[in-house]
Amino acid sequence: MKKITLIITLFFLFSLNILPQNYKYAWISGIHFELPPVKSELQNIVNDINNKKEISFVIITGNISKNSKNEEIDSAKKILDNLSIPYYIIPGTNDAKLNENCNMEFKDLWKDNKFAFSFKGIKFIGLNNGIFMHESGHYRVEDLQWLDSVLSKTPDTEEVFFYSNYPAENSIDNLVEVTNRLSSHNLKAIFFSVQKDNPPANIEGTPVITENSGISDFNGWKYTLLENIRDSIILQNVTSASTGETATGFIKNNANSSMADTVQFKNYTQEAEKNITGIKANVLWQKDLKRTLSAPVLAEGNKIFAATNNGDVFCFDSNGNILWQNKSGGRIISRPAATDSILITGTVEGDLISFNTVNGKIIQTIGLNEPITSQLITIDAEYNGAPAIGVVAGTAKGSLYCYDVTSFEMIWQNQSAQRVIASEPLYINNRIIYGSGDGHLYCVDAKAGVLNWKLLLSSNVNNSPALCSPVANEKSTFIAATGKNITSVDLLLGKAVWQKNNLDAANSIGISNNLENIYVKGYKDNFLIVSAKTGKIIKNIKIGFGIDSSPSPILEWNRNIIFSSQNGNIYLIDKNYNCNPLFYLGRGGIQSIIHIRENIFAASTIDGKIIVFSIE
């Protein structure tokens, strides 16, 4: 009898830990903290939560900062640390896109940028999708591996609530990688903090619960009080005016969630009905590094170099064989630069590192004491009165450095920019042209590093030209920004020649081989060919790739235009303006396409996939 009583007691205690119980918690969504004036509003939210003793914990979802500044995130943390109950926090895309600490501020302050914990029968999971230099949301390969580990230890009976940020208009390109993983568990609801556009009301059968910004888009302050009931979730807005009398209820998902299509690769040119251009693309080799590849790949001679986010550096031969692999000792988000015998990488920790391209051994290292964020380029320079090759690197603080490649002695530095330099600087006619997160386009003398001119394009960091790599002809340079404008700037004087806001541009432009036309990947579904002289639209081609503000290169080859989109496709537009996709490389954004030689090209994705292909 005692044994039976003990079993019943243990079962009861087990049920209390596994089966969801009624309780309340708070959700602060989209703080958008700035200095000043909303500091007191966030403090008011903290005070109100502290006064409600029925609240068990707080979940906070990005965006935390309004302008990607460390000081905004740091100040927000000081206030949030006044909460008298535990809180769990994840950043948003705004906190990462142009952050001067390269999206590491959260890990420095809170030790992580994601969370997983269990409370009274529910597993709460929060996952970051903000990535430095990316407009859209994307879940990193390493974070998906972490999610796999969390779910593998989650009992089938334990309910799961998933929290994340949903970027304005740009969505999350690989959301399905998360929802498919969650669908095999007891997923009850998905929670998104949103800015403008809402995600669907449900995803593969699971209800989606959304909340707008708690401060900046609201007159006063607001947070959400949630009550968990066995089969439902009750949401109640708490505002600076009052605690809402009305509440919104959601029924938890009680069915098995379905899984979406997870095709990872496709060669469209092998499908006759879709190949309207008649061009064939053939895969020469592919690699999956299974780690984040923020930096585009680099081709030099017969070698291809790749530097991953965790600091691994790879060298492949023309057949895809690994010639060597080494570690930089830091995190890399910048494309390397190379000469015949030297490869140079830059790290977020602020080090320039040179490698022997033959055997991969490190030659030397020098510290810049600033996160290196731009793509590296080499230029013709002078050092000690003699011709030299210089490597140019931009930093998160807006500095531009030029070092001699062989000695790593500084040739010059320029500190005109006040915020991050993230894209590839343009080297043309002894000038270096680049955009900055401070909203300016800069032109620096390549020999001496002195400022030739600067031009203000936007005072809003989110519309700055920092993510776009400029292009140029003999007279003008051209730049596109997130605000959908394209500006033509006199190369010598730094004055705007024309600016067009009807081109639907967003960070991606190219220039024709004859330098007469500008190629524009539009913000939504279209591709434009524009006169470089006047800005007049010559051709508007409907593509159908959806919304896309991701920066990506645009190439012209043999009168064909080649470009990629956030949806994972590589497209080709032929001389008759017919367009069809060449490849689908999965749901990770394609951040580079390079022309290696003749009809050979390479492309890479942020998820570490590399493909080398030919076009016939």
Query: What is the pLDDT confidence band of residue 4, given thresholds at 50, 70 and 90?
Result: very low
The tens digit of pLDDT for each residue in 65-105 reads 888 888 999 999 999 999 999 999 999 888 887 787 787 88
For tokens 């990770």, name the residue.
588
The tens digit of pLDDT for each residue in 148-163 reads 999 999 999 999 999 9
Max Cα distance, the chain (Å): 97
Residue 126 scores a pLDDT above 70 = yes
The tens digit of pLDDT for each residue in 466-500 reads 889 999 999 999 998 766 789 999 999 999 999 99
Residue 112 scores a pLDDT above 70 = yes
User: For residue 568, which of 604, 543, 599, 601 has the smallest C-alpha distance?
Assistant: 604
Q: In Å, how far are 1, 10, 11, 15, 19 from 4, measured between CA atoms?
A: 5, 10, 11, 16, 22
Residue 249 scores a pLDDT above 80 = no
Q: What is the pLDDT of residue 483?
A: 65
Q: What is the pLDDT of residue 256?
A: 66
Peptide bond into 200 cis (omega under 30): no
CA atoms within 13 A on the CB side of 101: 15
Query: What is the pLDDT confidence band of residue 15, given thresholds at 50, 70 and 90?
Result: very low
pTM of the model: 0.90
Cβ contact 454:439 at 8 Å: no
Q: SS3 of 211, please?
A: strand
Q: In Å, how far are 387, 458, 477, 481 from 528, measured between CA atoms?
A: 41, 23, 18, 15
Which token pair is 354? Answer: 């040179």
The tens digit of pLDDT for each residue in 322-358 reads 999 999 999 999 999 999 899 999 999 999 999 999 9
What value does the CA radius of gyration of the chain take, rounded to a whole number of Å? Answer: 26
How far is Cα 208 from Cα 74, in angstroms, rounded to an integer? 30
Q: What is the identity of the amino acid at 597?
A: R
How far is Cα 431 from Cα 241, in angstroms, rounded to an integer? 56
How far is Cα 476 from Cα 493, in angstroms, rounded to an integer? 10
Residue 40, beta-bridge partner list: none
Residue 211 scores a pLDDT above 60 = yes
Q: What is the pLDDT of residue 11?
A: 38
Residue 5 scores a pLDDT above 80 = no
